[in-house]
Structure 1
């Protein structure tokens, strides 16, 4: 490879930029569950053509983040409490496998990186933390965990389920007291990993997901009851 080739920057296709931008907007809660995603809005937001926007929407529909209704168009998918419970069940097993693998196979540098992200989370104010910064740190924590577990299959499956879980994570973290619980639970994960306690890391990961599920499902059920009462 020549020096010029090594320095060359390959631009991302517009469709990929729109796909990633729309996914991020849904995952961070900028587009709320049930919100309509008309072509015109997305074209203006991303500066892309209608064909590019529609292709990106189709890809996110395959991930379950978008639902398209005949004669109505695409909407941000809304997870029912029953669907959310299923997502958390799958996530719990995958996250536990990753925690176990990380404890067994991660490098010293990866362990230090996981600790660094944990302490950055712990440094956020327990109430009123910037939601985008909080969600970015959670994503970074899982990126390190999946890389260090040395199981590409688990990492690929987790990427799919965590996209579906993104709205739920934003829901659970919207609870005023949830951040402190999240930090305490992830601290248990990191401490088990640092002790190379694979079984402890597995259990700590399962406990973390169960706690997040309890909060998110409570909020979703409250919303469901409120919607029925006003429907």
Structure 2
């Protein structure tokens, strides 16, 4: 028997909707989160909205301002640099391990994910592309059996997705980004850990160079 998927609760659906709006940069840094507006937009109660905001505050996507309520948090240059440094360590380790054990089936899945990412970016569907990119890396980590490392990545994923949304606004990134992923899969297919790690690190360096030049907003 197949596992029956548990339907999402109203809060889970609202939380996913609000998180997507922030990570895709639809709600920009500094945007004030007005409870009444969010209630009307999402069709949920104030209780649900408040629970969602508190949850997103724990993910560092939302920040409380004294006497002003909550706003969409910004990502400082220092935070962005540290996130990319952590990603380089974790992803480099995962890619290296993955290259040694990867199977043709996983290779096919990675190529399919790459194709879907490129297709959605060509249509400016950033939300879908961000989710697919997360699935791309999740498959690499889990194939490499780097489960603890993936848990650490998941804790950063909301902010990682925000940074990806920022960098994708740069000219040419919607094509160079997927090309890097394709080259990475080729290196994995060839069981070439050195090349795979080099491409992974290059991809992150290029992304950080773009992210460091973008105004990611203010909390005030």
Determine the structure 2 residue equivalent to 1:189.
Answer: 184
Does the CA contact (< 8 Å) of 1:91 and 1:161 recur in 2? Answer: no
- The structure, 1 or 2, with the larger RCO (C-alpha pairs under 8 Å, 6+ apart) is 2
Q: Quick one: distance in 2 between partners of 1:99 and 1:54? A: 39
Q: Alignment length, in residue pairs?
A: 218
Determine the structure 2 residue equivalent to 1:77.
Answer: 73
Does the CA contact (< 8 Å) of 2:20 and 2:127 recur in 1? Answer: no
Q: Given the alignment of the two structures, is residue 24 of structure 1 paired with residue 20 of structure 2, yes or no?
A: yes
Does the CA contact (< 8 Å) of 1:65 and 1:164 recur in 2? Answer: yes
Determine the structure 2 residue equivalent to 1:52.
Answer: 48
Does the CA contact (< 8 Å) of 1:37 and 1:76 recur in 2? Answer: yes
Determine the structure 1 residue equivalent to 2:100.
Answer: 104
Determine the structure 2 residue equivalent to 1:209.
Answer: 204
Determine the structure 1 residue equivalent to 2:91.
Answer: 95
Q: 136-145 vs 95-104, which deviates more?
A: 136-145
- Superposed CA RMSD in Å reads 2.4
Q: Quick one: distance in 1 between partners of 2:76 and 2:106? A: 36
Q: Quick one: distance in 2 between partners of 1:193 and 1:73? A: 47
Residues 8, 148 of structure 1: alpha-carbon distance in 2 compared, 3 angstrom cutoff: closer
Q: Which of 155, 166, 170 lines up with 2:165 in the alignment?
A: 170
Q: Quick one: distance in 2 between partners of 1:16 and 1:122? A: 28
Normalising by structure 1, report the TM-score.
Answer: 0.83
- Structure 2: runs of 5+ lacking an equivalent: none
Normalising by structure 2, report the TM-score.
Answer: 0.87
Does the CA contact (< 8 Å) of 1:66 and 1:75 recur in 2? Answer: yes
Does the CA contact (< 8 Å) of 1:36 and 1:75 recur in 2? Answer: yes
